[in-house]
Amino acid sequence: MKIRFLGTAAAEGWPAIFCSCPACMKAKELKGKNIRSRFSIMIDDSYKIDFPPDSFYHMIQNQLDYTKLKYLFISHPHTDHLASHEFEFRRKWFTNLRNDRNLHIYGWAKSLTKIKKGMVYSDENEPIYHSLKAFKKIETPDFDVYPLPANHMTPKDKPFIYLFVRKSDQKTFLSAHDTGYFFDEVWDFLKSFHIDVISLDCTHGGGSSLNNHLGHQEVLKVKQKLEELHIFNEGIFIVNHFSHNGKWSHEELESFFKPYHILVAYDGMEIEF
């Protein structure tokens, strides 16, 4: 399984698009891994988590071919995770694709409705939509995928984090972004799995938060509980999805997390397992 971290920033990007705070100015000066586009993850060549406003940029930077994208999982409908207007460009006037009904999009019903509005009207290349329910398994040719409720937005909303289990060898990947500390029912569900790789929200960086997003100390609390419950032991632990409001540069994040054997994601990072 190859995981590519296409974007690793929160909604405003880093440096933020309308900001000149010290953290943004420092990122402009240091460049490199401190330049972060909006969050998205690619799994192999045909699976993707979220479709942010920077998806065109991700395609160019990572030499992606979105015509090979077959399974798209949307965490929630916030604009930094779902640029729904982009799907209009699957219509026949904008692409040479013909009768392509091979893109499956999964998510909360509100996310799917937003995409349908972005398509403007039905088209021969319209995606196939799958409305998800928490904890209910989705089967694709390569993975069993479990949508789990994220601690994000309001109680009436249904954002998801995703657990991927590869069918061929039962290797597991947990993508947990735009979430605070996991709900009790999520902890109970995860007890049945051993996670090989986890990418966890750290939006607040050097700050603190238990709800909606996580900060550096809360990341350690999640990791400790995963280990106590024997859900995660000797795998790869990654922090991801950073806001300039968390202040810490990539190097400062690495300095804090390295003693805990936690990797700090950056745009373009790849891991394979």
Rounded-to-10 torsion of CA 127, 159, 247, 209:
-170
Q: What is the pLDDT of residues 25-46, one digit of tens each?
A: 999 999 999 999 999 999 999 9
**Which residue, among 70, 54, 83, 74, has the nearest Cα to 161 in the 3D structure?**
74
Q: Hey, what are 233's tokens?
A: 């032991």
* Boundaries of domain holding 159: 2-272
Asked if 106 contacts 115 with a C-beta cutoff of 8 angstroms, the reply is: no
Q: What is the pLDDT of residues 107-158, one digit of tens each?
A: 999 999 999 987 766 677 889 999 999 999 999 999 999 999 999 988 788 9
Backbone φ and ψ for 36, nearest 5 degrees, come out as: -125, 130
Domain count, the chain: 1
Q: Per-10-residue mean pLDDT for the chain, 273 residues long?
A: 99 98 98 99 98 98 96 97 93 82 94 87 83 98 98 89 98 98 98 98 94 95 98 97 98 98 99 97
Sign of the torsion angle spanned by Cα atoms 238, 40, 109, 170: negative
What's the predicted TM-score (pTM) here?
Answer: 0.96
Residue 171 vs residues 2, 176, 182, 209: alpha-carbon distances, Å = 12, 16, 21, 30
Domain CATH for 197: 3.60.15.10
Give the span between the Cα atoms of 177 and 157, in whole angstroms: 15
Burial of 105 (0-12, 13-18, 19+ CB in 10 A): buried
Give the span between the Cα atoms of 146 and 133, in whole angstroms: 9
CA atoms within 13 A of residue 235's CA, in its CB half-sphere? 23
